[in-house]
Amino acid sequence: MRSSYPQPTEELDISATAEHEVTGAGGTKHHMMLLDDLPTPAFIVDKHVFQQNCKAARAAAAKNGIPRLRPHVKTHKTIEGCIIQAGIDSAGEESLADVIGFVASTLPELAMVVKLGCQYKRKPFTDVIFGIPICKSKLLSIQSMLHKLTSATHGEGYIHVVVDNPQQVTFLEEFAQQNTSDKNTQRWSVFLKLDTGYHRAGITCEKAGHTRFWRDERDDESRSFHDTRISEHVEIASEIQQ
C-alpha cells in the first residue's frame, strides 16, 4: 500500500550531535557527549550498574556453592559486555569471579565470543556453548569458527553444540565424517539439552535416563565427536529422575 505521507527528498543526517571537551587526569583532554545531547529514542546502558550487577551475580554464585559460572551473551550482544561479565578489568587481569565460558544463541553472538577468544587466547573467551539445539544449516559456520579458534589458541579453544534429538546426533556424526581430513581432525564436543520444566527445548529427564538416546550398536571409538558430556548429562538426568 502506498503511503499518503510526503516522502523526504533527501536523506536526513541524524548523526551530528554536540560534543563537549573535558579535561581528565594528567591534563588529558577528551571529547564526550552528554545525555541531554543524544537524539531520541536512544538505548543507554549505565556501565557502573552493569559492572555491579555482574559482580553481584558472581558473588551470589560463590556464596551458594556454585564454583563455576557461564553467562549468556544474548541480552547485551557486545564485546564490552562479555569483558565485564568475565570480570576482567581494563588492564586485562581477572577480577572476582570464576567465569569458565559463555553461552551464545546465534551465529553472530558466537562469532563475537570467538573473536575475543582469538584475541585473549584464554578462558573464559575460549570456551563457548552454542545453546540452541543444533541444525544442519549452522554446522559449516560453526566448524569454520571452531577451526579459527583452535588455530589461534593452539588447540585450547572449544565450541560445544547441543542436541535434544537422536536425529541431530546422526547428522552431526555424518557431517563430521564427511568433513574430516588429514588437515582437519577436529572432534565435536556435544552436550545433551535437558528440559528442566520450561518445555521450550530439550528432552525430559525420563527420556534422558535412557542411554539408548545417544548410543548405538557401533563401537564408541568410531564416533567423530566427543560424547562424554552426553554421558555425564544422562547420569545427572538419571539421578534427578530417582
Tell me, what's the pLDDT at 213? Answer: 53
Which class for 221: exposed (0-12), middle (13-18), buried (19 or more C-beta within 10 A)? exposed
Tell me, what's the pLDDT at 195? Answer: 82
Tell me, what's the pLDDT at 36? Answer: 83
Which class for 140: exposed (0-12), middle (13-18), buried (19 or more C-beta within 10 A)? exposed
**pLDDT tens by residue, the chain, 242 residues:** 555 555 555 554 555 556 667 666 667 777 777 888 888 888 888 989 999 998 888 888 888 888 888 999 999 999 999 999 988 764 344 445 588 999 999 999 999 999 999 999 998 999 999 999 999 999 999 999 999 999 999 988 999 999 888 888 888 888 888 877 655 566 788 888 888 777 887 887 666 555 455 554 344 444 555 444 444 444 444 444 44
Tell me, what's the pLDDT at 19? Answer: 64
Q: From CA 125, how far away is CA 92, in angstroms rounded?
A: 12
Residue reference for cell 556453548: 129
